[in-house]
Amino acid sequence: MENQEKKTVLSFIQPTGTPTLGNYLGAFKNWKKMSGDYDCLFAVADLHSITVRPKPEDLRRRSLELYALLLALGLDCEKNTIFIQSMVPEHGQLAWILECYTQFGEASRMTQFKDKSEKHSDNVNVGLFAYPVLMAADILLYQTDYVPIGADQKQHLEITRDIAERFNGIYGNSFKIPEPFIGEVGANIKSLQEPAKKMSKSDANAKAFISILDDDNVIMKKIKSAITDSEAKVRYAEGKDGVNNLMSIYSCCTGKNMQEIEREFDGRGYGDFKNAVGEAVVEELRPLKQEYTRLINDKAYLMECAVAGAEKASRRAGVTLKKVMKKIGFVQAK
């Protein structure tokens, strides 16, 4: 891509808990490579996280921890834009504008709103309902070409495209219409205790997921307690969800394919296999955890990077916001 302008890719993650091994192997591990191939924006989506009213001290701590993790991945602040969402006021400003170009019916069809309303029935707030519009603002502010999304985010990208096309239809070309990012596919890591479902940091069972920052001994214990089956044979096959999941984890950490893994553990039991998986995960995460520890203990440097990233993002977002406000008819200083 050296001879042409790089396409813009935007990735946001909420500070609602420490990301899991699934997040790392499924997405983060590819971000460093992606950041060299594309014009990338990475952000801590702290505005999105307040729909469930976190404690102020928890939100502040988790936001800085997640920002430190992004840097610890090896992402280059000079080549890419890495920031904390709430430090860029243009997100909230454009979100309000786009809410006025979003139909109530299309917003009410968002399945995540329905799901989260059931989980948080004591706090069904307007922010929870308008969440997809803020996400649309996040994306459209930077004239984003591609957005990496999971299956649960597909509706949100669709409504973003609908809002952008509606606004463009009224005022002329204002926003790029974003596409889903089709890049290197990461692993789909499952729960260690219920391998039919995705590994999640919000799982009530702490044994079901590995946090990126888990202690080495904790990682080993969780892997050893992972659900397998009674066959006691390491092979990738239908109906062996637990073993398949551990094989996927081992493959991501070692680079070995399934056939190589099967040959390696031919005639050996699950005890040996789990030990090897645990050790591979520990070694995979070791450099990340070491760099994270260094960064989180240097709050001055973290804030310096966060401020610089926010200023960089704000300058870029401001160009889009100013154009949008002018087209709508807001009075603006020259």
- Between 176 and 131, the more confident residue is 176
What's the pLDDT score for residue 62?
Answer: 94
For residue 49, is pLDDT > 80? yes
At 243 the pLDDT is 96
- Report pLDDT digits (tens) over 120-149: 677 788 878 888 999 999 999 999 999 987
| pLDDT band at residue 184 under the 50/70/90 scheme | low
- Active-site residues: which are they? 116, 198, 201
Domain range for 106: 8-186+299-328
**Is residue 201 assigned to a domain?**
no
Domain count, the chain: 2
User: Do 249 and 319 share a structural domain?
Assistant: no
Asked if pLDDT for residue 3 goes beyond 50, the answer is: no
Tokens 């090896």 found at: 74
Is the pLDDT at 1 greater than 50, yes or no?
Answer: no
| pLDDT at residue number 316 | 96
161 and 246 in a common domain: no
For 20, the 3-state DSSP assignment is: strand
Say whether both 40 and 118 belong to one domain.
yes
The CATH number given to whatever domain includes residue 171 is 3.40.50.620
310 belongs to a structural domain:
yes
Q: Is residue 17 part of a domain?
A: yes
Helices and strands in the chain: count of H runs, count of E runs: 13, 5
* Residue % of the chain over a pLDDT of 90: 75
φ, ψ of residue 3 to 5 degrees: the values are -95, 5
Average of per-residue pLDDT across 192-203: 91
Mean pLDDT estimate for the chain:
91
179 pLDDT higher than 60: yes
Q: Is residue 256 part of a domain?
A: yes
Lowest mean pLDDT among 78-87, 143-152, 180-189, 316-325: 180-189
Same domain (yes/no): 215, 234: yes
Do 262 and 168 fall within a single domain? Answer: no
Asked if 24 and 188 touch (Cβ cutoff 8 Å), the reply is no
pLDDT at 254 over 50: yes
177 near 161, Cβ under 8 Å? yes
Residue 1 maps to a domain: no
pLDDT tier, 185 (very low <50, low <70, confident <90, very high otherwise): low
Q: What distances in angstroms separate CA 50 from CA 54, 86, 101, 325, one per listed residue? A: 6, 11, 23, 27
The overall pTM is greater than 0.85: yes
Residue 12 has pLDDT above 80, yes or no: yes
User: Domain check: are 64 and 177 in the same one?
Assistant: yes
Given a cut of 90, is residue 334 above it in pLDDT?
A: no
Residues of the chain above pLDDT 70, percent: 95
State the virtual CA torsion across 144, 146, 151, 155 in degrees, nearest 10: 40
Q: What would the pLDDT profile of 201-237 be if each residue is shown by its tens digit?
A: 888 899 999 999 999 999 999 999 999 999 999 999 9
Q: Are residues 127 and 66 both part of a single domain?
A: yes
- Is there a single domain that holds both residue 55 and residue 159? yes
Tokens 């999105």, residue? Answer: 48
Average confidence (pLDDT) over 41-61: 93
In a domain, 18, yes or no: yes
Condensed to tens digits (0 to 9), the pLDDT of residues 64-109 reads 999 999 999 999 888 899 999 999 999 999 999 999 999 998 888 8
The answer to whether the CB of 175 falls within 8 A of the CB of 143 is yes
pLDDT of residue 151: 62
Task: Please tell me the least confidently modeled range out of 1-10, 11-20, 321-330.
Answer: 1-10
Q: Are residues 175 and 267 in the same domain?
A: no
Coil/strand/helix, residue 285: helix
| Same-domain check for residues 179 and 53 | yes
Residue 4's pLDDT is 59
What mean pLDDT do residues 35-45 have?
94
Residue 121 in any domain: the answer is yes
Residue type, 198: K
Answer yes or no: is 178 within a domain: yes
What percentage of the chain's residues is helix, strand, coil (to nearest 5)? 55, 5, 35
Judge if 153 and 228 occupy the same domain: no
Is residue 2's pLDDT more than 60? Answer: no
Domain of residue 239, CATH code: 1.10.240.10
Residue 246: what pLDDT? 97
- 285 and 318 share a domain? no
